[in-house]
């Protein structure tokens, strides 16, 4: 869809290089890439996420220069050496630790945008699948990164999560032993987590390259979901979207900076300021906020193996979405019913997140006891998460397929350009095209 390249090598050396490794042409074509002209700010998260990945890798490499991946040294190297003695170590670590939360905030908004506007539908299924793979890799990377400071929550989080894998029949215990490098979470675990935490971001970067490649074959979706039909539907990526993404990244950085400079410990648990101690279990082991909905689903199910399967299934639903939703209309702008169910699903996911942060037997209405059903009182966090989890799965497995089949959708515009003109001023199409050339 990008059409023939408009790049013309101007100097001798450019011509020489162009016939050997057309890397300048590659970059020029990326900048020139025809992008729908009606993308809104929800489309800026791709740029924001690229920024996050680069920021995490750069700060991570610097932190690795000062970090000691040993049980005796890890906590001291972070809390004493990096935070107190390394020049601007507090800043580098602050960016890296809070950057993980910022990265997930952006990726969740990016995923929600993809679902709302049907960006996973044909011909973008591979683009969507690659995105899901990036998300899973991000969760693995973030989890292992959280273990590295070797505080109480690092240690016990590692223990709880690696123990989950042990529930898998036949191979589970073997995988756990391999991950631990022994028979308990200990020095060898920390060493391999450090190694993998350094490796996975580069795997993510490689999958991001595939993700961008898979984006550039069918081109961007857009808020109407209507395919690009003519050149006048699009604008060159540069300068139109470089400047818009740049502005969005800068706004995002303001939020980022608020956390790094003024609330640096907002996402950290106080227990993680205590060095890891295998003999003292923290009263309340919780993962980071971005994993809480899955943690709630895991705990909602009384059987360990079934819980692990449900946790995996919750993520697998995202992978299957392109084949669960067969509606011909992409954007939920024209799917009023789907929109309502989608917003309820967001609320269910937020409720799950809240449940994940609470004690399983915590009460919604304090002091009210009803009756016990499947291990827990009905007035308990566990039962709230059970209801929310049922909706979470029903949204993917029942509601979405049924809606694709039965829903009455609103009329979809003929082109993505039509609604653009209808809410704008009465500018003749020709004048717009002329302005674009001047641009």
Partner 1 sequence: MALRLSLAAALACAVAMPAMAATTQVAPKDVHWSFEGPFGMYDQGQLQRGYKVYREVCSSCHSMNMVAFRNLGDKGGPFWNPKYPNPNENPVVKAIAADYQIPDLDSDTGENIKRPGTSADYFPNPYANPIAGKAANGGALPPDMSLLAKAREGGPAYIYSIVTGDNANIPAGLNVPVGKYYDPYIAGDMSAYWTGDPKHVPRGGVIAMPPPLSPGKVQFDDGTKSSLQQEAWDVAAFLEWAADPKMEERKQVGLAAMIFLVLFSGLLWVSYRGVWRNVEH
DSSP assigned state of 235 = E
Cβ at position 21, least distance to partner 1 in Å: 31
The encoded tokens of residue 188 equal: 């060898």
Q: Pick the stretch among 18-26, 124-132, 189-197, 428-436 that binds partner 1 (CB under 8 A).
A: 428-436
Q: Which listed residue (246, 312, 401, 413) binds partner 1 by CB under 8 A?
A: 246
Secondary structure element (H or E) that encloses residue 108, with its range: helix 89-116
Cβ at position 150, least distance to partner 1 in Å: 13
CA-closest candidate to residue 59, choices 201, 245, 231:
201
Report how far residue 157's alpha carbon sits from residue 144's, in angstroms, rounded to the nearest whole number. 10
Report how far residue 284's alpha carbon sits from residue 296's, in angstroms, rounded to the nearest whole number. 14
The encoded tokens of residue 77 equal: 């190297």
How far apart, in Å, are the Cα atoms of 25 and each of 6, 35, 210? 9, 18, 19
- One symbol per residue from 103 to 142: x for binding partner 1 (CB under 8 A), - otherwise; what is it? ---------x---x--------------------------
Q: Which is nearer to partner 1, 164 or 253 (CB)?
A: 253
DSSP assigned state of 376 = E
Our finding on whether 387 is near partner 1 (CB under 8 A) is: no
Q: Which is nearer to partner 1, 301 or 381 (CB)?
A: 381
CB atoms within 10 A of CB 343: 12
The encoded tokens of residue 170 equal: 């036949």
Q: Which is nearer to partner 1, 205 or 274 (CB)?
A: 274
CA-closest candidate to residue 74, choices 142, 151, 143:
151
Our finding on whether 197 is near partner 1 (CB under 8 A) is: no
The answer to whether the Cα torsion of 292, 298, 301, 304 is positive or negative is negative
How far apart, in Å, are the Cα atoms of 144 and each of 59, 154, 195, 298, 420? 16, 9, 10, 19, 45
Q: 148 with 154: CB under 8 angstroms?
A: yes
Cβ at position 49, least distance to partner 1 in Å: 18
Q: Which listed residue (122, 250, 326, 370) binds partner 1 by CB under 8 A?
A: 250
Rg (CA), the chain: 25
- One symbol per residue from 48 to 87: x for binding partner 1 (CB under 8 A), - otherwise; what is it? ----------------------------x--xx--xx---
Q: Which is nearer to partner 1, 89 or 181 (CB)?
A: 89
Cβ at position 335, least distance to partner 1 in Å: 12
| Side-chain half-sphere CA neighbours of 137 within 13 A | 20
Our finding on whether 422 is near partner 1 (CB under 8 A) is: no
Our finding on whether 354 is near partner 1 (CB under 8 A) is: yes
- One symbol per residue from 321 to 340: x for binding partner 1 (CB under 8 A), - otherwise; what is it? ------------------x-
Our finding on whether 350 is near partner 1 (CB under 8 A) is: yes
Positions 156 through 195 that interact with partner 1 (CB under 8 A): none
Cβ at position 253, least distance to partner 1 in Å: 5
**Bridge-partner residues for 373, per DSSP?**
376
Cβ at position 185, least distance to partner 1 in Å: 20
Q: Report the SS3 class of residue 21.
A: coil
Tallying the residues shown for the chain, one arrives at 439
Our finding on whether 91 is near partner 1 (CB under 8 A) is: yes
Q: Report the SS3 class of residue 412.
A: coil
Report how far residue 258's alpha carbon sits from residue 268's, in angstroms, rounded to the nearest whole number. 15
Our finding on whether 5 is near partner 1 (CB under 8 A) is: no
Q: Which residues bind partner 1 (CB under 8 A)?
A: 37-38, 42, 76, 79-80, 83-84, 90-91, 94, 112, 116, 235, 239-240, 243-244, 246-247, 250-251, 253-254, 257-258, 260-262, 264-265, 270-271, 273-274, 283-284, 339, 343, 346-347, 350-351, 353-354, 358-359, 362-364, 366, 381, 420-421, 424-425, 427, 432, 435-436, 438-439
């Amino acid at each position: 869809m990008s059409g023939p390249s408009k790049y013309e090598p101007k100097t001798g050396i450019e011509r020489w290089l162009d016939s050997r490794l057309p890397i300048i042409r590659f970059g020029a074509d990326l900048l020139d890439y025809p992008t729908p002209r009606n993308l809104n700010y929800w489309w800026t998260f791709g740029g924001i996420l690229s920024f996050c990945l680069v920021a995490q890798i750069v700060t991570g490499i610097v932190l690795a220069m000062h970090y000691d991946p040993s049980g005796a040294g890890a906590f001291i190297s972070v809390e004493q050496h990096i935070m107190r003695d390394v020049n601007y170590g507090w800043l580098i670590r602050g960016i890296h630790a809070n950057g993980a939360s910022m990265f997930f905030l952006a990726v969740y908004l990016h995923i929600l945008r993809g679902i709302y506007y049907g960006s996973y539908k044909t011909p973008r299924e591979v683009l969507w699948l690659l995105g899901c793979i990036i998300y899973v890799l991000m969760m693995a990377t973030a989890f292992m990164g959280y273990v590295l400071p070797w505080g109480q929550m690092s240690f016990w989080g590692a223990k709880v999560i690696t123990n989950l894998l042990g529930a898998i029949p036949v191979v589970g215990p073997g995988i756990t032993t391999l991950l631990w490098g022994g028979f308990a979470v200990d020095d060898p675990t920390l060493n391999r987590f450090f190694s993998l935490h350094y490796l996975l971001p580069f795997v993510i970067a490689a999958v991001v390259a595939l993700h961008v490649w898979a984006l550039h074959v069918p081109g961007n979706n857009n808020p109407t979901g209507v395919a690009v039909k003519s050149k006048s539907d699009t604008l060159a990526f540069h300068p139109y979207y470089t400047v818009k993404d740049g502005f969005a990244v800068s706004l995002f950085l303001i939020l980022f900076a608020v956390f790094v400079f003024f609330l640096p410990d907002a996402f950290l648990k106080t227990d993680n300021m205590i060095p890891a101690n295998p003999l003292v279990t923290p009263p309340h082991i919780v993962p980071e906020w971005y994993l809480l909905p899955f943690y709630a689903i895991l705990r909602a199910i009384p059987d360990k193996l079934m819980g692990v399967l449900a946790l995996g299934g919750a993520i697998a639903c995202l992978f299957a979405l392109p084949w669960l939703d067969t509606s011909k209309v992409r954007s939920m702008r024209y799917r009023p019913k789907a929109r309502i169910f989608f917003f309820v699903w967001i609320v269910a996911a937020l409720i799950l997140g809240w449940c994940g942060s609470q004690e399983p037997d915590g009460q919604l209405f304090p002091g009210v006891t009803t009756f016990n059903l499947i291990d827990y009182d009905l007035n308990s966090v566990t039962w709230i998460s059970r209801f929310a989890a049922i909706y979470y799965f029903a949204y993917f497995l029942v509601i979405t397929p049924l809606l694709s089949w039965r829903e009455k959708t609103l009329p979809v515009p003929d082109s993505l350009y039509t609604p653009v003109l209808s809410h704008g001023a009465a500018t003749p199409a020709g004048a717009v095209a002329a302005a674009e050339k001047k641009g």
